[in-house]
């Protein structure tokens, strides 16, 4: 059992291996991911279940996990991989002992940021994952529209408000969905405490007349935002001379894949 490091100058200096744990530390920018492959010879034919846990990972980047053969673990071959914003994921692979069988599939961890990962073989497929609830401060987070006096039939929609990554601290991304997914950039001017909605974008799906009417109402709301304020446990948004209220909610965690993740088999 061992980690195999890709052949590159960056990988040789950035990767440190200790048993089933691999650490990636690179001082400068990650121009491309640094890949390591876990080789664990099969002692018998069958399915193998793997748990990969990220013990540490910089927030500025990400890591992903994929599958390939050892022969294809080199320049010129692509890997279909999964990115996960949590700490842990599980994979399974087919291993055959006989020399004339198909190639053994290996797990590959790709680092696009400094981090540390460990891998263990499980005896049975996991059916659930423990997920830590997200914690948000200030106006960022997931919100549910609960009070819209001018359009009381347009409440219940979910809004997602986060600082725009890699940009000014006063720039936020806002998204919501009725029939289509709508996205907008919100810019805050601290000197005047004024907000402005910019660069509105939306998918272009059609729907029934009533749903499209409600979508038009929500679209006008987010495109006309002039104020965003936290009042206790509620978020107050001012738009087009009106005021609406939202409360925090916790989204349902995604389902745990227990079969083929690429075919969306749960």
Instruction: Find tokens 């290996």 and name the residue.
Output: 106
- pLDDT single digits (tens) 132-142: 777 888 999 99
- pLDDT single digits (tens) 185-210: 999 999 999 999 987 788 888 889 99
pLDDT at 13 > cutoff 60: yes
Mean pLDDT of the region 89-94: 53
- Predicted confidence at residue 96, as pLDDT, reads 44
> What's the pLDDT band for 89 if we cut at 50, 70, 90?
low
Mind giving me the DSSP string for 111-134?
ESSSEEEEEEEESS-------PPP
Domains of the chain: 2-132+255-263 (2.60.120), 141-248 (2.40.128.270)
Instruction: Sort 10 into a burial class: Cβ within 10 Å, 0-12 / 13-18 / 19+.
Output: middle
- Predicted confidence at residue 67, as pLDDT, reads 85
- Predicted confidence at residue 100, as pLDDT, reads 38
- 195 near 226, Cβ under 8 Å? yes
Mean pLDDT of the region 217-227: 96
Enumerate the β-bridge partners of residue 187. Answer: 171, 196
- 184 near 198, Cβ under 8 Å? yes
């Amino acid at each position: 059992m061992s980690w195999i490091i890709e052949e590159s100058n960056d990988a040789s200096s950035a990767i440190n291996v200790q048993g089933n744990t691999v650490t990636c530390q690179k001082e400068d920018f990650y121009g491309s991911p640094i890949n390591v492959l876990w080789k664990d010879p099969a002692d018998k034919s069958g399915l193998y279940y793997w748990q990969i846990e990220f013990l540490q990972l910089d927030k500025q980047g990400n890591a992903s996990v994929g599958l390939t053969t050892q022969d294809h673990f080199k320049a010129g071959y692509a890997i279909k991989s999964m990115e996960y914003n949590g700490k842990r994921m599980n994979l399974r692979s087919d291993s055959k002992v006989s020399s004339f069988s198909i190639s053994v599939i290996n797990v590959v961890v790709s680092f696009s940021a400094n981090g540390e990962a460990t891998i263990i073989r499980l005896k049975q497929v996991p059916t659930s994952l423990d997920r830590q609830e997200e914690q948000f401060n200030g106006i960022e987070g997931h919100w549910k529209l609960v009070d819209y006096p001018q359009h009381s039939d347009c409440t219940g929609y979910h809004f997602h408000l986060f600082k725009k990554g890699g940009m000014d601290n006063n720039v936020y991304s806002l998204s919501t969905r009725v029939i289509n997914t709508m996205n907008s950039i919100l810019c805050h001017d601290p000197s005047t405490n004024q907000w402005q909605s910019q660069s509105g974008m939306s998918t272009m799906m059609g729907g029934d007349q009533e749903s499209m009417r409600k979508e038009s109402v929500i679209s006008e709301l987010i495109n006309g935002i002039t104020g965003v304020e936290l009042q206790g446990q509620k978020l107050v948004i001012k738009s087009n001379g009106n005021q609406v209220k939202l409360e925090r909610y916790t989204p349902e965690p995604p389902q745990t894949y227990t079969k083929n993740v690429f075919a969306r088999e749960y």
